[in-house]
Amino acid sequence: MKSFVRTLAAVMALASVTAIPAMAGEKKDIVDTAVAAGSFKTLAAALGAAGLVDTLKGTGPFTVFAPTDEAFGKLPAGTVENLLKPENKQKLVDILTYHVVSGKVESSTAKTLEKATALNKKDIKVKLDGDTLLLNDAKVIKADIEASNGVIHVIDSVLLPPADKK
């Protein structure tokens, strides 16, 4: 756990040094918007460890299904620390890119879909349960957070991609 906290602190320090603040009145990109919210520290650390920060700071547009720190906390003990190890980078990239869809998909559009194909080319089941939008089994708890290069939908669980079909 101590090494995870050190890694998280190092990534957050790096992110704060390398982040370019948005001009007054301009929307922040997806990464800066998530970091500014304060409830995505684990996601930010994972993006740094996976080398995906620059991608999600790119022009996009992207739709990001962002698990909160609490969502990461639901994973079995040691999972996040294990995924942040350099030897597990590809698995981490696969999980994180399963949370991103190319294009800007607002919740009003998402509610009409049956699936969404993530950047890792794997499908996410999309379902409306009453007024609640579900992605696989994760609930969207806050939708349509605008960013300069896309939109963020906050989810209550980490999406785990299906195993590769051989």
Choose among 104, 94, 116: nearest CA to 46: 94
Is 134 part of any domain? Answer: yes
Is 163 part of any domain? Answer: no
Is 92 part of any domain? Answer: yes
Is 121 part of any domain? Answer: yes
Is 132 part of any domain? Answer: yes
Q: What is the pLDDT of residue 163?
A: 81
Task: Output DSSP code: residue 49.
Answer: H
Is 160 part of any domain? Answer: no
Residue 72 tokens read as 């990461």
pLDDT per residue over 73-101, tens digit each? 999 999 999 999 999 999 999 999 999 99
> Which residue did the predictor score with more confidence, 111 or 24?
111
Is 162 part of any domain? Answer: no
The domain in which residue 16 lies consists of 2-155
Report d(CA 69, CA 133) in Å as an integer.
20
pLDDT at 4 over 70: no
Q: What is the pTM of this model?
A: 0.83
**CATH number of 84's domain:** 2.30.180.10
pLDDT band at residue 25 using 50, 70 and 90 as cut-offs: low
The residues, ordered by sequence, that sit 6+ positions from 101 with a Cβ below 8 Å of its Cβ are 62, 63, 65, 116, 117, 118, 119, 124
Is 97 part of any domain? Answer: yes
Choose among 133, 40, 151, 56: nearest CA to 97: 56
Q: What is the pLDDT of residue 152?
A: 96
| Number of domains forming the structure of the chain | 1
